[in-house]
Amino acid sequence: MNDSVYMAELTWPEYQRRVAAGATIFLPLGATEQHGPHMAMNVDVVLPTGVCERVARNVGGLVAPTVPYGYKSQPRSGGGEAFPGTTSLDANTFSLVVRDIIRGLGHDGVRRIVLVIGHFENAWPAVEGLDLGLRELRRDGIADMQAMRLEYWDFVRRETLDRLFPGGFPGTELEHASLLETSLMLLLRPDLVDMEKIPDDGPATFPTYDRFPVPADFGLPPSGVLARADGSSAEKGALLMQDHVELITAAVRKEFSL
Ligand code: ZN
Ligand code: MN
């Protein structure tokens, strides 16, 4: 029997069986976005998908296909839209994609959904999509859908960050294409990382506000890497992944009484 946790790898009768058995559905929300000269542009797809796969296995859940486009990259959290290849959706479009997926899953009988953010800028448009999806389901007579929304990178122990950043953690916003993401990619997809191309033009020196259009001297490193990526390793990625999976599993079990 096919024991995949990936929804799209199942036949429809097997999917129907697992939904009827109460499977929680994880929906990773990614992006197609530059991640420096040393990593592929699918980092925000690979990482939340990998986290979801492991958590879904822990709780008998399923992973819906990852949304591969995100809300627009912002200079202070992802480098911005000017980088070739960064390809994004309007907030409204993104929210409606999330809405439609939730509506479809709800009509299949799914009653527990976890939206897992893999791209910083998706956070609020995902909330909007979730709100619209739940509203549509209520209007269709389905009022018992339960949902969570989370950023996987928040699920990390203080001790782990202290171990990874002896000089102090720069913060998740500046972690774009930096040590955390690079280490997790070295764990999951080392074939998509070129350690020799790690730049040293960071860290970013942004002010505490945005500007439109983005001025040339805004503090964005030309490489698109916002903090430091040197020192990344698969071992560090494994420490992070362990925290992400353990802590998200615990949160989902608690909220959904699994
Ligand atoms: Zn990223
Ligand atoms: Mn991103």
Residue 159 annotated to the active site: no
Pairing mode, strands 112-117 and 62-63:
unpaired
pTM flag (> 0.75): yes
What does the pLDDT average to over 57-70?
A: 98
Residue 3 annotated to the active site: no
What does the pLDDT average to over 250-256?
A: 98
Mean pLDDT of the chain: 97
41 CA to centre of ligand 2 in angstroms = 9
Residue 181 annotated to the active site: yes
Q: Which of 38, 175, 176, 243 is catalytic?
A: 176
**What is the distance between the terminal CA atoms of the chain, rounded to a whole angstrom?**
24
Residues 6+ apart with CB under 8 A from 254: none
pLDDT of residue 191: 98
Map residue 149 onto helix, strand or coil. strand
Percentage, residues of the chain above pLDDT 90: 96
What does the pLDDT average to over 58-67?
A: 98
> What are the tens digits of pLDDT across the range 140-169?
999 999 999 999 999 999 999 999 999 989
- CB-CB neighbours of 77 under 10 Å: 19
Domains of the chain (ranges; CATH) run 7-256 (3.40.50.10310)
Residue 81 annotated to the active site: no
What does the pLDDT average to over 168-174?
A: 86
Euclidean distance between CA atoms 247 and 250, whole angstroms: 5
Q: Which of 3, 9, 14, 33 is catalytic?
A: 33
pLDDT at 1 exceeding the cut of 80 = no
249 CA to centre of ligand 1 in angstroms = 22
